Structures are given as structure tokens and as C-alpha cells.
Structure 1
Amino acid sequence: MRRPIDSLFGRLALLVVGVLLLSHFAGYALFRLERSQFQNRYAVEEATFLVDAVRQHVLHTPDQPLPSRVRLVDPSSKDVPALQEGSNTPLNHFLEDVRDRMPPGTQVRLGEPGKPPTLWVRQPSDADWIVVPVQPLRPPRSVDRMVLWLTIIFTFAVMAALFAAWQLQQPLRSLASAVARFGRGQPVPPVPERGPRELRQLTHGFNQMVQEVARTENDRAVMLAGVAHDLKTPLARLRLRAEMMDEVKVRDGVVRDVDSMTHIVEQFLVFAHDGADRSEAVEVDAQCERVVRSYRAVAAGAATVLTDLKAGPGFLLPAATLDRILSNLLDNAHAYGAPPVVLATARTSAGYTLSVQDNGGGIAAQDLINASRPFVRLDPARGGNGHSGLGLAIVERLVRRAGGEWELGNHGGRGLRVLMTFPFEAVPRVNSMSESAWS
């Protein structure tokens, strides 16, 4: 099961959203704190200015009336508010800031709650309390218009960041897809060189590597195909001359040797073939049954072949590819394994599987890596009998070319098993028009 967080885009998206969320939250908190402090400083400045203005007014123009919201109160009046201390509120912080701006010994109090907020100030030299209005100190609201704006900005920032992350991820995704195709042995078209400089350099290097590998493979395929093709004519003449020999024993030995050489040449041609299989897709289960019946009829001395076909009609492969895979694996099991040979198919959650297993001695663990390499024979004594060391190499190439993966190993200590897995997306689909025509 794929997890979105495992992809580059998922991690970039998570990083971008986390950073934007943290920055917006920190900015909003700092803004609220700064706004609260600014409001408090403004209220303190305004209050101290009014108190100084009233004091100057009383000192220089005592006969002039005071503004309506400013008054002088006798210290013995019952309207003087009581001293309130001990609580840690924004109003007490406000009072402390006002005291710091006043001369030492100044008394500062707030008016009674429930009425318009007022500030009571009396210096030691003042005869009366000076009462001035103050700006209401409202606590920060839990939700305000700033939250709406920050949400809008955050949404557009996330959308822009995700688009940028997607643009950065697309070249990497194309490159990863090309690497996967290259690993399966499938044709890889040049990958467009897009994105940052380092990514363009990586893509350019990959394209050059693919071109060099393709050129090398093509040269090797041309060489093998040429040699194999040139050998077919003399082998045909050699067989014809062998058939004309009088001595039966010598004739049969030469004919067997010519047949072995012909089989090796045919293996060379199959291995050198690098084109796509354009044969018709057939049901694997049905084709396996036909191949096994034909194998039993032709190879009378071959090992017993059992079938366990459970993939269903949805498992399709090109006919030529499937025939070559089965013929090579059955020949390999007949030559090196022991009966019975089990040919099985199945449908799993990841795709379809095709396996061939014998009950021989298997392959030593240290030789499993070399078993599928071209021209490698694990038993040096098997130099003849038409075996070129290409059987498993051909199977691996055909499986990868068909979009599948293969696994070679000893199954339960009872012989060699070749397990081939074909994802659902790699399996050919039946043409809907053909289906309707048959229905």
C-alpha cells in the first residue's frame, strides 16, 4: 500500500504546510502581543499628558473651567476609589506604567468599575485628586478580522507552495519512471531535462548512460545475430551430409551434434533479439495447458509436468514471449531437475504470478547470482547437449521486457523455482471491440 508521505511531493507538501503554519501562527501571536503593548503604551502616554495638562491648567488659569470629563476631587470625598492591589491584570500593568511616568510618591488609582474608565492621580504637592478619562483597555479578542486575513493568506501561500513542489517533483517522477523501465530492460526514451541545475545534470547523465548501454547492447546483439545467422547455412549442409553417411552409428552421433549446435544457434538468435513482441496476447492458463500437452507428446522421455493454474482469464501475455519462457524453463527443468515439474499460475494483490518448479537438487546458494548470467554454465561438465548457458538469461530478459519481475531460488529445499510476477498494469488488456464481437 502506497503512503503519500513516502513520496517526495508528500514530504515537500508536509514541510511547506508545517513551515507556513508555524510562521503564520508565530506572526499572529507576535502581532497580538505587539498590538496589546502598543495599546497600553498609547493609553499611558495619553493619560500622563492629560494629567500634566490639567495640572498646568490649575496652576496658571485656575479661574477657567475644566473640560466636561475632567474634574478635581477633594481627598476627603467619599467618591475617592479605594486602593486595589495584588491582581495581575492589564489594568494593574497600566497603573504601574503610569506611576513610573509620575514623580515619586504619586498616588494612582482607577475609577469604580461599571462606569466610564477614569484615572485618579494625586502628587504629594496636589491639593486635590485629578480625575481624567482613559482609553478603555480591552483584552485581545479570541477571534478577530486578522484571523480571516491570515487564513486567506495562508491558503494562497499553501497553494502556491504546493504548485512549486509539484513542479519540482515532476522531473524526478519522470526520471524515476525511466530508471524503473531501464531496470526492467524495457526501451527508455530520452527523459526531458527539466528542473534545477543539479536535476538537469542528473537527467543528462542518465540519458547518456542509456544511450551508451543501448549502443553496447545493439553491437552485441548484431554480433551474436550475425554469427548465429552465418552458422545456420553450414550447419544445414553438415546435417545433409551426415544424413548421407552409410554407417548408422557415426551418422546418428553427427546428427545429434548438429542438432545440438543448431539449438545453440537458435538460442543465440533469441537472446540477440531486442525488438518488442507484437504477437497476439493469449490467456496464460490456456496456453500453459497447450504447451504442457505438446511437451508431453513430443518429449516422450521428459519429466512429468503437473499444472496448478489459478490465475483466471485476465492473465494475458504475448504468445511468442510466453512460449519462449515456458519452453526454456521446461527444457531447463528436464535437463537439470527431477520430476515432477510443477507449472503454476495465481492471482495476488500485487498482480499475476507464473512459476515453474522442479524437484531436483536445486542450485547452490553461492551460484544463484550467476545462474541467470549469459553464457554461464554452473556445471562445467555440461559442455554439450546443446546447452549454451542462455536459457535462464533469455527468460529473465523476456520477463523484464514484458514488464514483470522474476525471482530465482530453491523452494523449500525441493528443487529450483522460477517465480515471475506481472503487475496488473503490465498485463495486456483484451480489446473491448474484440470482446463485443465475440459476445
Structure 2
Amino acid sequence: MTTNSIRPPHDLFEPCGVTEPYVSRMANRLHRTLDSLFGRLALLVIVVLLLSHFAGYALFRLEGDQMQARYAVEEAVFLVDAVRQHIASTPNLPLPSRVRVVELLSATVPPLPTHTDTPFSRFLDAVRERMPPGTEVRVGKLGKAPPTLWVHQSGDRDWIVVPLQPLGGPRPLENTVLWLTLIFVSAVMAGLFAAWQLQQPLRSLASAVTRFGRGQPVPPVTERGPRELRQLTHGFNQMVQEVARTENDRAVMLAGVAHDLKTPLARLRLRAEMMDEVKVRDGVVRDVDSMTHIVEQFLVFAHDGADRSEAVEVDAQCERVVRSYRAVGEGAARVLTDLKAGPGFLLPAATLDRILSNLLDNAHAYGAPPVMVATTRTSMGYTLSVQDNGGGIAAQDLINASRPFVRLDPARGGSGHSGLGLTIVERLVRRAGGEWELGNHDGRGLRILMSFPLASIPAPILLAPLVPEALG
């Protein structure tokens, strides 16, 4: 008895040369993040908060210095006026310890300032503007000792010396930077939370739009967020309901007509086979077979349900389908395969069979051998392609090739075809979570390239190994 081995998940298959460097993966992830709505809102919030914090800090420092200078000027003018009034009203009372009166010709009078563009020179100019005209103002003891202000008005016999409010330099940055950092981090967190709250309903709506574009079932999207976003979501839900109702009516009508035609076609074939004349009988049988094929295509096209068949390995299933096609298809011997995707490439069996049968029939009817069925593994997922070596499709007709009930002349001149083959393939690919590309490859033949990202690949069924003890 053979034992079943556990098959690892498909995303663990990583062929050589496919793994991207770590730095490249991080760069791609960062690009995807910044390209999203949340990333752009977060970047906008951070930039705006940085600019506002820097501008506020610069304004705070500038206004703080100016306020300190104005306060020092007002305090000095007030002290000088108070001392003058004290001397005039009560000359016998002693002055405060830090206030004194110096004779006009004393040797201790400080000299005039030599630099005119210093904080003290600007301070002295401001004090002079607040004093009566002709007032002389000087600053004494500009060392480690606290500075003093010397004031002499015209008519005074002495210098009035008062303590000066020191004009300190800018305050230390430690406390200011700490508080600014805390405020900035709190504001960024609040902004990111608001951006995340706005992004969530948009992400749900974008996911629903993607599913709707692929023809997959779309449940109603919850209406949340700002008023405009709720209106958009409500309109999308109504559109999905109307489209689903129209599609259902169309599918029921088409399926009913096709189903009702199967019985008279079967009777017609039976009567044709009972004809005596061989040529007439063969012609009628061929026509009935063509009509039966069209009816079957109608039924497949009208089928709108999800594929619940078991997921199979695409490479193995492609080999089986091609082998069967070679055996039963007339003139279909030259169908080649180039299957390199590996066992991680899985698709629902019924979906894969319908895709391959429609594409092989299309290539056999309108292309030229050899027909190539190929699979490969890419950094983003897997690809499946079918290519023939015929004349291809004119560039102006490529956009209409996958539309339902469209036949391209003269290429679509055969019988037994309804113009639904490529339409069915496109619908099946999108329902499976993939994308397709229709075009002429290298100037020869039509190629249908189907890409399936890793997220769309169904997970394989893990089978536990049969333990000999359990077999008893």
C-alpha cells in the first residue's frame, strides 16, 4: 500500500531565480503602502503636522524673545520713575539696597556703548524712546555680575542706578523639544486613526468593485463613513442589485430557451439518422450537431453560479485534457505543452476544463497548428496561455473578440459557433480571480494569456500520512 504524503501549501513553492531580494521586497511594499489612500493620507498628516509644529515653534521663540525685551524695558522705566518720585518726595528716606544715586561726575559712570548692534544697545534705544527727550542711558557691569541701568535726565543732578532685568539667551531646547515631540506624536496618532477610519469603508467598497468586475457574487457593502461615501456605497449596492436582477432574468430566459431546444434537436437527430440517403443524412446530422453545440454554449454562458468543484493541479490537468483532445479531436494531433508552473498552481477542475476546451476548440477552428498550452510561475503568481500559429485577429477587432454573440469575419466563418467561446473563457478566468490578455503573439497566431495572482489560488487539501500502526 502506498502512503500519502502531506503536500505543502502552494506559496511554499519558490523556484530558483524568482525570490526577490529583501530590500526590493521592502521597497515594493513601501511603494504599495504609499500608493494607497491610507498611505497618502498618513503622509499628508505627517507633513502638515511637521510644518505646523516647526512654524509654531519658530513663532513661539521669536515672540518669547520680544515679549521678554518689552517686559525688561517697561520694568526699567517703572523703576527709574519710582526712584525719581521717591527722591523728590522723601529725600531723607534710604533707597532700596540695589538702587542708588551716583554723582554726575563720578568716575564710576560707565562709558558709552561702542557696539550699536547688540541686544543691550537695542535695549537702550528702546528705553530712550520711553524716556523724555535728552535722557542719557547707559549699562554698567556687563560681566558675571548682574547688569545695572544708569539713567540721567536733563535737569537731574545725579545718575539714577537701578537693577536691570537680565536679557537671557534662548531657553534650553530639552523641555521644549520633549513637549513638542509628545504633542506631535499624539497628533500623528490621532491623524492616522482618522485616516484609517476613512480608509476602511473605501477598502471594502474597492474590494466589492473588484469582485463585481470579475463576475463574482457581491454581498451588500455596509454603508458607513462620511455622507458622500455613504451615498456612493448606497448607489453601488443599488447598481449591483439591478445588474444581478437583469443578469438573472437574462440567464433564466437563455437557459430556458436552450433547454427547450435540446429535446426537439434530439428528435431531429434521431429522424435524420433514419434517412436512407447518406449525403442528406450526414448533412442534417452535422447541422444538428452544430445546433447542439450552440445550445450547450448558451447553457454554459447562462450558468452564473460559483464553481464548487475540487481544485486540481493545472499542469497535470492540462496534460490530461490535451491527451484526450489529441485522441478524439480530428486533426488535433499537433497540440504541444510546456508546463512549468509546478504543483502549486491549482484551479477548480470544472473551470479549468471549460477554459481549455473552449480555447482548444477555438484554436482548432480558426488557428493553425501547432497549438501550444503553457504554464509558468512568476513572482506575482502563475500564468496559463494557449497559442496557435494561425493568422491571428486584426488589431481593430481584438476589442470585440470577447464580446458575446460577436463573430469576426472572415475568421469566424465556420458553422456551429455562437460567438460565446472567448466570452465564456473571460468570465471563467475573472471568476477564478485572474486576469486575461488577448492578442497576437510575435506577429503570428492568437495567444490568450491568463494570469492568476497567488491570492486567487485555492489552498490545496492536506492529507494526513497513513501511519502503519493505524492500518492495524
The equivalent residue for 1:395 is 425
CA contact (8 A) 2:73 2:123 kept: yes
The equivalent residue for 1:161 is 191
The equivalent residue for 1:34 is 63
CA contact (8 A) 2:140 2:148 kept: yes
CA contact (8 A) 1:355 1:418 kept: yes
CA contact (8 A) 2:136 2:151 kept: yes
The equivalent residue for 2:261 is 231
For residue 386 of structure 2, give the secondary structure of its aligned residue in structure 1. Answer: strand
Q: Of 102, 117, 122, which residue of structure 2 is paired with 1:88? A: 117
Q: What TM-score do you get using the length of structure 1 for normalisation?
A: 0.96
CA contact (8 A) 1:403 1:422 kept: yes
The equivalent residue for 1:262 is 292
The equivalent residue for 1:306 is 336
Q: Of 95, 101, 110, which residue of structure 2 is paired with 1:72? A: 101
For CA contacts below 8 A with separation 6 or more, give which structure has more relative contact order: 2
Kindly indicate whether residue 34 of structure 2 is the aligned counterpart of residue 5 of structure 1.
yes
One-letter amino acid of the counterpart of residue 13, structure 1: A
The CA deviation string for residues 92-124 of structure 1, in whole angstroms up to 9 with x for no partner, is 221111111111121111112221111111112
For residue 312 of structure 2, give the secondary structure of its aligned residue in structure 1. Answer: strand
Q: Specify whether residues 259 and 363 from structure 1 end up closer, same or farther in structure 2 by C-alpha distance, changes over 3 A only.
A: same
Q: Of 8, 18, 24, which residue of structure 1 is paired with 2:53? A: 24
The Cα shift of 1:381 comes to 8.2
Q: What TM-score do you get using the length of structure 2 for normalisation?
A: 0.89
The equivalent residue for 2:171 is 141
Identical aligned pairs, as a percentage?
81
1:40-439 alignment to 2 at 5 Å? 40-114=69-143, 115-302=145-332, 304-379=334-409, 382=412, 385-432=415-462, 434=463
Gaps of 5+ in 1: none
One-letter amino acid of the counterpart of residue 67, structure 2: F
Q: Specify whether residues 181 and 438 from structure 1 end up closer, same or farther in structure 2 by C-alpha distance, changes over 3 A only.
A: farther
- Tell me the distance in 1 between the aligned counterparts of 2:302 and 2:410: 24
- Tell me the distance in 2 between the aligned counterparts of 1:241 and 1:48: 124
- Tell me the distance in 1 between the aligned counterparts of 2:467 and 2:386: 32
One-letter amino acid of the counterpart of residue 29, structure 1: A
- The two structures, once aligned, show a CA RMSD in angstroms of 1.8
- Tell me the distance in 1 between the aligned counterparts of 2:300 and 2:60: 74
The Cα shift of 1:277 comes to 0.6
CA contact (8 A) 1:81 1:109 kept: yes
- Tell me the distance in 1 between the aligned counterparts of 2:66 and 2:285: 104
Q: Specify whether residues 353 and 124 from structure 1 end up closer, same or farther in structure 2 by C-alpha distance, changes over 3 A only.
A: same
> Which deviates the most, 267-276 or 242-251?
242-251
CA contact (8 A) 2:258 2:296 kept: yes
- Tell me the distance in 2 between the aligned counterparts of 1:294 and 1:276: 26
The Cα shift of 1:303 comes to 5.3
The CA deviation string for residues 354-389 of structure 1, in whole angstroms up to 9 with x for no partner, is 000000000011111111111111126856531111
The Cα shift of 1:71 comes to 1.2
One-letter amino acid of the counterpart of residue 404, structure 1: G
The CA deviation string for residues 235-278 of structure 1, in whole angstroms up to 9 with x for no partner, is 11122222222222222222211111111111111111101111
CA contact (8 A) 2:116 2:122 kept: no
CA contact (8 A) 1:260 1:384 kept: no
